[in-house]
Structure formats: structure tokens, C-alpha cells
Amino acid sequence: MNKTEELAARGSKVIMNTYSRFPIAFDHGKGMYVWDMDGKKYLDFVAGIAVNSLGHANEKLCEKISEQCRKLMHVSNLYYTEPQIELAEELCSHSCFDKVFYCNSGAETIETALKICRKYATMKNKPGRDIICMEKSFHGRTYGAVTATGQDKYHKGLDPMIPGIKHVPFNNFEALKNAVDENTCGILLEPIQGEGGIIPAKKEYLQKVRALCDEKDIVLIFDEVQCGVGRTGELFAYQVYGVEPDGACFAKGLAGGIPIGAFMAKDKLAEAFKPGDHASTFGGNPFVTSAGTVVMDMLFNGGLLENVKKQGKLLSEKLNALKDKYDIVKDARGIGLMQGIELTIPSGPVVADCIKNGLLLVGAGTNVIRFVPALIVTSAEIEEAMNKLDKALDRASK
């Protein structure tokens, strides 16, 4: 056994078996690359599942967080700290939102969203309790978030799920309209479905959903946990569509790898929460929010948003070329650096083949391969990844 296999074996004895893990253990990373315990190098197109927005071991991020943890790591939300305010100011000034609630993960932002939808209805003296979510969606694993997730496989053995959550087909306005009644208080959707298979919303669909929510005073929430924070080439995915939600969920890439969640809302919705209605011990502590300020600085002043647009175009061209070349590639789709190819065969063996050959990829659903590299990715790294993928698709076609 080499060191990597040894560590993976040790891990399998003490880490709960909730993931189908690869027998790989990583030791360190730099930029777009990671190395396992035996020094094998991998080009990382997973980025911790769309988390390491600045790549691995980014100097500015490392400097900032080490400086901040020596200064002040945590004090609780009974008080204010400068980094959390600075990040919130950045997020609000670059978006349609007025207020931020900090937490620690994507699922927690969803819990926040579900609660605030019902609180809003209560504040407005409306009967609404029901929240409509989408089929094929993914919102996380806490009880509310997993109930909101529109995929049966995640509900197995967990019933009863929380009441008042309905699911309708995504990108189908008639189905949504027919599901809305006087009991509806919120609609939750991902502008680009991630785990469900990289499925972008249609612009016209989102426009109609917005108009319906305005007409009925229903809260519209976008789950941008995966597609937000620069991944589309805009700070937030709603900006690509020009359709503003009332509230939105952000997490993953926001602090470049430090656990963070941010639920953002326009004032009209934010005021539904009063002191004591919601809380998080760690949420938005100075350590994590200082990391967020570095990510924001890099997005706006370090050329990252432009890079996402440029490299996203290249990635899309390359994936479409592979679609033309191989019959097993049925579709290529996505926005910016959140793209996928749908195969006619299960994606697992192709992903495993790429990993064996030094390219980290991740599936989405059973037939889709997802491409969510760090936002710092270069054209040369995209070329390298696509060459490896090309060879894997060639082998899988035979």
C-alpha cells in the first residue's frame, strides 16, 4: 500500500460512510493543482465542488486569514466586527440586496430562506405556508433543505419530510402557475440547477416567475449556492438573467474554501426577521468574512470576473467540439465556469478514467460530467483538461 491508499484505508475506518469516496488522500495544493500523499499531481476541475474560487493556497487569502486570526477570530453575533460589515457592504453594493444574514453552509442559507418565506407571510397577515420548489433541484441535507430538494433518492428513509413543500417541473411556467394558490408563500429555485445536471433556467421562464410573484406577493428566492459568486462571469447568476429575486442563497465559493453561508434579501423581505427569529453562533465571524473580502477584491479588482467570461467561452467551445466529435456526448451546456456535458452512458467510469490520468472531475446526476474549476483557471489549463477528457471519451466510445 502506498501512503495515499494507507490514509484512505485509515479514513474508511473512522469517517462515517456517507460519501462514495475515491481511495485518494490529498496532501497539498497550489493554484489549479493538488498532490496526493505520494506526490501524484492532479489538475483540479472540481475545486472542492465549486468552492475554491481562488484555487489552492492563494497567497492573498492565506495572508489575510492568518493576519485576521491573530487579530480576532471570533466574538459572536452579539457584536459587530469590521470584516463582516465590510463583506456585507461589498455584497450589497454590488447587488440588488440590502441585508445579509451570515451562516456556515449552503444548507443553512436554505433553512434561512424557508423560514423567512413563512415569516414574511405571517408579517403580511397572509395564510401562506407552502413553498414551491423544483423537481431535479438540490438544496442540501438539513431537513428543510433536503425536503426542498426535488429528487426522491435524497428522501429515502427520512420520512416524514417537513410539511408544506411542493415540487413542480423546472423551466415549466404553466406547471408552476397551476401549483400556486392562496397558501403559497414562497418559490425557491436554482437559476442554474447544479447537482440536477447543470440545467440553466430559461430567461423567459424566470421573467414570468418574477411577474407571478409580484402579482401574488409571493417571495421569490434564488438558490445561488453553486452558481453564485462569480461563477457565471457576473457576481450573481440573477444578474446574467436580469431578473431580481427577493432573496438569495450564497455559500461555497464566497470565502474561497473557508465555510460560509450568506442569505441576502431586499429590505422588504429582510424586515420579516426580528431579533431572536434566527441566529448562528459562528455565522459571519471575522475570520471567515475576512476571507470573503479577499474573494470579493479578486473578483472586482483582480480581473476574475473577466477571466470567468473569457475562460467560460473557451470551455464551452471545447465541450461543444467534444460533443461534435463523440456520439456518447449528447449535450454540452452551462454558463461561465459552471458547465456540463451530458453523456448517453453513465458518467462515473469516464470521471474515474480522468482521475486515474490526473484530472479531477465530478459528476452531476448519473449521466452528466460537471466542470466547475477555480475562477483563476487559465486557457492552458483548460486545454490540458480537455485533452485528458478527449482521451477518456475516446476510450469510453470503444
Ligand X SMILES: Cc1ncc(COP(=O)(O)O)c(C=O)c1O
- Name the site residues for ligand X (rule: CB under 6 A): 49, 105-107, 110, 138-140, 190, 194-195, 223, 225-226, 251
Q: Cβ 91 to ligand X, closest distance in Å?
A: 17
Return the beta strands (E) in the chain as ranges: 26-30, 33-36, 41-44, 99-103, 130-134, 165-168, 184-189, 192-193, 199-200, 219-223, 247-250, 261-265, 329-335, 338-343, 359-360, 362-364, 368-371
User: How many CA atoms are closer than 13 Å to the CA of 360, on its beta-carbon side?
Assistant: 25
Q: How far is it, in rounded angstroms, from Cα 247 to Cα 198?
A: 22
| Pick 260 or 359: Cβ nearer ligand X | 260
Q: Cβ 193 to ligand X, closest distance in Å?
A: 8
DSSP state letter for 135: B
| Pick 85 or 161: Cβ nearer ligand X | 161
- Which of 114, 83, 84, 120 has the alpha carbon at shortest distance from 102? 84
Q: Cβ 71 to ligand X, closest distance in Å?
A: 27
How many CB atoms are closer than 10 A to CB 168? Answer: 20
| Pick 140 or 245: Cβ nearer ligand X | 140
Q: Cβ 170 to ligand X, closest distance in Å?
A: 12
| Pick 31 or 140: Cβ nearer ligand X | 140
| Pick 180 or 364: Cβ nearer ligand X | 364
| C-alpha cell at position 225 | 449556492
Give the dihedral sign, CA 341/345/349/354: negative
| Pick 102 or 323: Cβ nearer ligand X | 102
Q: Cβ 163 to ligand X, closest distance in Å?
A: 21
Q: Cβ 123 to ligand X, closest distance in Å?
A: 25
> Do 64 and 290 meet the contact criterion of CB atoms below 8 Å apart?
yes
Which residues are within 8 A (CB) of 291 and not within 5 positions of it... i.e. 6 or more apart?
Answer: 61, 64, 65, 255, 256, 257, 258, 260
| Pick 138 or 263: Cβ nearer ligand X | 138
Which residue's CB comes closest to ligand X? Answer: 106
Q: Cβ 136 to ligand X, closest distance in Å?
A: 11
